[in-house]
Amino acid sequence: MGFPLSGDVHRFGWIGVDLFFVLSGYLIGGQLLAPLACGQRINLGTFFARRAFRIMPAYFVVLAIYFLLPSWREYPQMSQPLWKFLLSVQNIALHGGTAFSHAWSLAVEDQFYLVLPLLLLVLYPRPRAAVIIACIIVLGGVALRTILAFHNLIDTGVSFRGFQAWIYYPTWTRLDPLVFGVALAAIEKFRPSWWKSLTNLAPWVWLPALALISYALWLGEGEHLTIAACVWQFPLVAVGMAALLICAVSPRLPLRRVAIPGAAFIASIAYSAYLIQKFVIHAVGEFCATHNLNSMSAPALIGVEFCVYAAATILFFAVERPFLQLRKRLAPGKYGTPVRERVCAVIRES
């Protein structure tokens, strides 16, 4: 559904979710680990309140539009009932080709960040146990994807419908990038010397990382969906994305020193764009069809991008920003400031 790019490039767009998961694990994991690294405890109330103010208002507005204005949907059917969306479990047994299906990744994040603070409180200060749990999650995901792939095996390979419902969308098979992101945050917060060594390796890491991601994509390029692709694509892409994250923050490469005009604003409205994109793409597609315009043309592609970000800007200023300002008053962040980070790093190294 939407405006596919030329050639087969659009088929690889799914890896953007894995990049987002790695970044999210690194950033949110860093927020949770920062107080622990300074000898403080995680304030669960503040953390959950800040996540709720950040995520829920815009999400509930868009969710209301989907259920109250069905003519605006990109697909006529909602494959999941309202209660699943309200509890953020809509990714379980989900099938593509249904309205608001792209919110599956938000459900994965919500579920992960509901459990992560509690898990960190139990594991801290047991670093070996934390490493063991992380390995169990990653290796358990490999084993579970293997079992599910064989369970959904048909004459022509793995059933795509079964793959979507039980491997691609569910949380239990998509934790690899989130775990790798949190692991990087833990190294940065608790092992600054290791982190420095990792970032110093960045000039020699970016090319193997791209090669690993390319190999993972190649695994899925057969005529039919294979067991190898179901099992190994996600962890390989996650490792590659984690390596690219190291490259992005490394002082040895110019990426962190390149200032892109407007990038900060685009980042601020990215969540609204994620939520509202399918509405806008559908509306622009209908407009093109009604006026006999080529939706594959460059002007149409540019136009739909402009409309997505314009709608995202409206949603951001109308809903997101007021609640973010309210969050600053009711649930201010206490940890993670640059000064505190530097002080804690000095304490750990001394």
Q: What is the tens place of the pLDDT at every residue in 200-251?
A: 999 999 999 999 999 999 998 888 899 999 999 999 999 999 999 999 999 9
Per-residue pLDDT band at 9 (split at 50, 70, 90): low
Closest CA to 14 of 229, 205, 184, 179: 229
What is the model's pLDDT at position 316?
A: 97
What is the model's pLDDT at position 343?
A: 45
Buried b or exposed e, range 282-312, using 16+ CB within 10 angstroms: bebbeebeeeeeebeeeebbebbbebbbebb
pTM of the model: 0.90
Per-residue pLDDT band at 346 (split at 50, 70, 90): very low
Average pLDDT over the chain reads 90
Beta bridge partners of 158: 153
What is the model's pLDDT at position 82?
A: 95
Long-range contacts of residues 2-10, Cβ cutoff 8 Å, at least 24 apart:
2/74, 2/278, 2/281, 2/285, 2/304, 3/281, 3/284, 3/285, 3/295, 3/296, 3/300, 3/301, 3/304, 4/296, 5/301, 6/296
Give the domain ranges of the chain.
14-255+340-345
- pLDDT over 60 at 305, yes or no: yes
The Cα 65–Cα 346 span in angstroms is 50
The Cα 283–Cα 277 span in angstroms is 10
- pLDDT over 80 at 86, yes or no: yes
What is the model's pLDDT at position 22?
A: 97
**Are the CB atoms for 29 and 116 separated by under 8 Å?**
yes
pLDDT in tens, 115-148: 999 999 988 888 889 999 999 999 999 999 999 9
Least confident span in 88-102, 221-235, 247-261, 291-305:
291-305
Least confident span in 40-49, 95-104, 297-306:
297-306
Per-residue pLDDT band at 347 (split at 50, 70, 90): very low
- pLDDT over 80 at 36, yes or no: yes
The Cα 273–Cα 309 span in angstroms is 6
